[in-house]
Amino acid sequence: MAFIDHIHACNRWDPADFIPFRVAGERLGLVRRRFADDLARLGRDFRLSSDQLYWATAPDGFDARTAAFRAICADLEGRGLVSHLHGERYPVTARNRADARFLIDRACAPYFGVRAFGQHLNGYVRTADGLAMWVPRRSASRRVFPNHWDNTVAGGLPFGVGLADNLRKECWEEAHMPAELADQAVAVGAVCYCRDSDRGLKPDLMYCYDLELPADFTPRCNDDEVEAFYLWPIEQVIETVRDTDQFKLNCNLVIIDFLIRHGLISQDDPDYLGLIQGLRAPLP
């Protein structure tokens, strides 16, 4: 295995499997052909035309559209066309979070190939032996990637909450980190990828943060999402990312970005160009 394998794994999708999802003249996502056929066959809200899926009954206005789509998703869940509802609302946008046209249940976003936004933080400590990173193990009960290693703090970005506020909230919920500490996180960029998942397509933008933690701070779980935190020497992080699939898939990318920014992946690595470009993949 090599670092670049994770880039490829996160960017696996075939454009031929998906068609545009259009609302009021805009392409807001991409839907799998099979799912588009299922929706059109219902003969209610969706219409297929020229190899594109249209939400034909979309009302005007953000709130009305959000309410109508909420009812549609509940119906689709009842019919088994979407696996479940999550409860959190994501913006439906072809660009930035601020340009949301309406909201969609987080679990339904990939079915419609809607752009997802998240925040991922690497908490590290400078020790006499070099860098060390706080690595949590996801609990066995998690729906996706149970028992896998994760970024120190990571979470999706619901609509209507600012980046700083949401980071503070996630830091507290996931690592029992007080706001004063969370606020010291440095925004260091973003990583993006697009992947064909079971449920559909996930074009994902992960805002990245580095947080240097004091040696006397120990993160601990505030909820049941994390089993325990471990402080790993950076060499162990490097080897586990490079040689295994033990990290949650997209977390590998956030760590590779960290390693590149900290000079921990050699610029002579033959994959270097592929890595730096691959961490900023085009989003459809």
Q: For residues 67 and 283, which CB has a smaller minimum distance to its own copies in the complex?
A: 283
Please report whether residue 85 would count as binding its own copies according to CB under 8 A. Answer: no
Show contacts with its own copies in window 4-43 (CB under 8 A). Answer: none
> Judged by CB under 8 A, does residue 263 bind its own copies?
yes
Q: What share of the chain is helix, strand, coil (3-state, %, to 5)?
A: 35, 30, 35
End-to-end CA distance of the chain: 28
* Interaction of residue 180 with its own copies, rule CB under 8 A: no
Cβ contacts of 128 within 8 Å, gap of 6 or more: none
Which residues, including other chains, have CB under 8 Å from residue 158's CB and lie 6 or more apart?
Answer: 88, 89, 90, 106, 166
Q: Please compute Rg for the chain using Cα positions.
A: 20
Segment near its own copies (CB under 8 A); pick from 22-30, 56-64, 240-248, 274-282: 274-282
Among 14, 198, 223, 267, indicate the residue that binds its own copies (CB under 8 A): 267
Residue 70: CB minimum distance to its own copies, A: 26
CB of 119 to its own copies, least distance (A): 9
Give, as ranges, the residues between 185 and 244 that touch its own copies (CB under 8 A).
186-190, 192, 205, 207
With contact defined as beta carbons under 8 Å apart, do 219 and 123 qualify? yes
Residue 12 phi, psi (nearest 5): -90, 110
Can you state the angle between helices 3-10 and 234-243, rounded to 10 degrees? Answer: 60
Given the structure tokens 């088994």, which residue do they identify? 80
Least spacing, CB of residue 172 vs its own copies, in Å = 20
- How many chain residues bind its own copies (CB under 8 A)? 28
Three-class secondary structure of residue 155 per DSSP: strand
CB-nearer residue toward its own copies: 59 or 274: 274
Select the span of 51-59, 141-149, 194-202, 271-279 touching its own copies (CB under 8 A).
271-279
* Site of interaction with its own copies (CB under 8 A): 95-96, 98, 162-163, 186-190, 192, 205, 207, 260-263, 267-268, 270, 272-273, 276-277, 279-280, 282-283
